[in-house]
Amino acid sequence: MSKPLRVSLAIALALLAASLGYWLTQKHTASETTEEATTSPADPGAAVISESTIRHSPGGRTAWQVRIDQMQLESGATSVAAQGVREALIYDPSGKPMIRMTADKVSGNTRSRDLEVTGNVRAVSPDGAVFDTNIIKWVQTDQKLACPGLVTMRNQDTVVRANACDFYVSQDLVKAAGKVQMTVGSNTLLGTGLTYNTKTQDFALGRVQAIFNPETVRDSLAR
């Protein structure tokens, strides 16, 4: 066999081996890809974190933090949503907790620093005032808890039931524009347009109807 013929044959064999190796590699890769596609779920585009604490600290100061059972964070978003809220804390400018909340779900925005908690919501103020409702929105710019639905507030021997109310935390003021039922001890007041200070317990109520406990009235007259 001549030398040129041997060289040509060697080149042909090398090309054949390379082609065969490439074909086998591609087949193996395609098989792995197909298997992975059939066994792996599609990427939902969101991160899910279980049993964690979400803390928002703009400028190094904690504005709020939430202890949750599960959190979902959308890719590239400024909003978070969490299920099973063990505790949500809102802090004052000095770094002290001023509102504690529990709920079924919380969603927040790290840009506006607002929070919204829903489902079996309970919020407790530093003075011990307790708000029970189904939805509360924390509005950072106004430093207030907005309760847009039926709400019951308890503070010492006072119970307030309203269709909606706002609690201005830094001022210790509860404001309810609609109909209000206010029970102090065993006496009940019905009216509209309540303003109530959770610290001093001073209040103003318009269009009042008073319903006094008969036993309390008799005791007062007997003195």
Contact assessment for residue 115 and residue 106, using Cβ atoms and an 8 Å cutoff: yes
pLDDT tens digits for 24-83?
445 444 444 444 434 334 344 444 444 556 665 666 666 666 665 655 555 455 555 556
The DSSP code sequence of 161-177 is: EES-EEEEGGGTEEEEE
Domain topology for 135-223: lipopolysaccharide transport protein A fold (2.60.450)
Mean of the per-residue pLDDT values of the chain:
73
pLDDT tens digits for 124-182?
998 899 999 999 999 988 999 999 999 999 999 999 999 999 999 999 999 999 999 99
Q: Does the model's pTM come out above 0.75? A: no
Residue 50 belongs to what H/E stretch? strand 46-56
What are residue 216's phi and psi, to 5 degrees? -65, -40
Burial of 174 (0-12, 13-18, 19+ CB in 10 A): buried
pLDDT tens digits for 170-210?
999 999 999 999 999 888 999 999 999 999 999 999 998 88
Write down the domain spans for the chain: 1-40, 41-124, 135-223
**What 3-state DSSP class applies to 191?**
strand
